[in-house]
């Protein structure tokens, strides 16, 4: 899953791909490097990020979804917590709703996803982007994330969503300390409810820099690749990344070793 931020303020590439032509050029590059899904986001969810009005988020994302859908038949994902934004993207040709709130922020989201039959990414986040990194606390981070996934599976299935359309993301860096993130990475094989697939997003995240003792974003590229290979061995099926080629090559190599290629 290649990350396509069409925002002015995302943590690692804010403003670089804003506008349809710049976004399309980057999407084409990621597809050429092996991305099977393009995840389009119009609102930053970095720590401390402010809310973006739905109309502005739609204005940023819908033209990109429409233009990419017109030239590519791969999977398109809309990264949003708002049902209004998701509905506009689905109408424009998106296939997946990637909701960092786990479909808890907008009460209309579950019904929309059930009606559309789209793919759904259910992510765990403690708090919201404005506050999530102020003081993350868990008694048992692995147990609490696992419990959240089980509750969401039951609730979303009861709301009419086909469980076969669901995958789950532990939300690395979303209301977690370095130790919380590492504990979740160790527990990847045991997190998903009822053997549903896991999605993992660790690309360029700050916990990598803290482990390495570096504030340089460039230093996070190869550790991301290392985590991708580790996560594939642990059973993760979807890997959300900025740098597609090295991560795709790591996946191919890991799968060759596993005999899963």
pLDDT of residue 135: 80
Q: What are the residues facing 239 on neighbouring strands?
A: 200
pTM, rounded to two decimals: 0.93
User: What would the pLDDT profile of 205-249 be if each residue is shown by its tens digit?
Assistant: 999 999 999 999 999 999 999 999 999 999 999 999 999 999 999
Spatial separation of the C-alpha atoms in residues 95 and 99, rounded to whole Å = 13
User: What would the pLDDT profile of 160-172 be if each residue is shown by its tens digit?
Assistant: 999 999 999 999 9
Q: Please provide residue 232's backbone torsions phi and psi, each rounded to the nearest 5 degrees.
A: -65, -40
- Asked whether the predicted pLDDT for residue 261 surpasses 70, the reply is no
Give the CA count within 13 Å in the CB-facing half-sphere of 259.
0
Q: Which residues are catalytic?
A: 205, 240
User: What would the pLDDT profile of 50-61 be if each residue is shown by its tens digit?
Assistant: 789 999 999 999
């Amino acid at each position: 899953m290649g990350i396509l931020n069409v925002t002015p303020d995302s943590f690692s590439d804010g403003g670089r791909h804003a506008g349809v032509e710049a976004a399309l050029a980057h999407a084409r590059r990621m597809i050429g490097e092996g991305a099977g899904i393009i995840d389009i986001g119009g609102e930053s969810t970095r720590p401390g990020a402010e809310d973006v009005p739905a109309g502005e988020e739609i204005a940023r994302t819908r033209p990109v979804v429409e233009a990419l859908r017109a030239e590519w038949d791969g999977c398109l994902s809309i990264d949003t917590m708002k049902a209004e934004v998701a509905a506009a993207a689905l109408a424009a040709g998106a296939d997946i709703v990637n909701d960092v709130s786990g479909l808890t922020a907008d009460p209309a989201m579950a019904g929309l996803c059930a009606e559309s039959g789209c793919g759904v990414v259910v992510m765990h986040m403690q708090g919201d982007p404005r506050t999530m990194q102020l003081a993350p606390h868990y008694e048992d981070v692995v147990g609490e994330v696992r419990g959240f996934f089980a509750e969401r599976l039951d609730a979303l299935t009861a709301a009419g969503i086909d469980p076969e359309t669901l995958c789950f993301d532990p939300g690395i860096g979303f209301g977690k300390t370095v130790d919380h993130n590492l504990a979740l990475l160790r527990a990847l094989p045991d997190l998903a409810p009822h053997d549903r697939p896991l999605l993992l997003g660790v690309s360029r995240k700050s916990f990598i820099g803290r482990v390495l003792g570096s504030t340089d974003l460039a230093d996070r590229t190869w550790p991301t690749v290392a985590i991708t290979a580790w996560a594939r061995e642990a059973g993760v099926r979807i890997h959300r990344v900025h740098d597609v080629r090295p991560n795709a090559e790591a996946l191919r190599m890991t799968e060759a070793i596993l005999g899963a290629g």
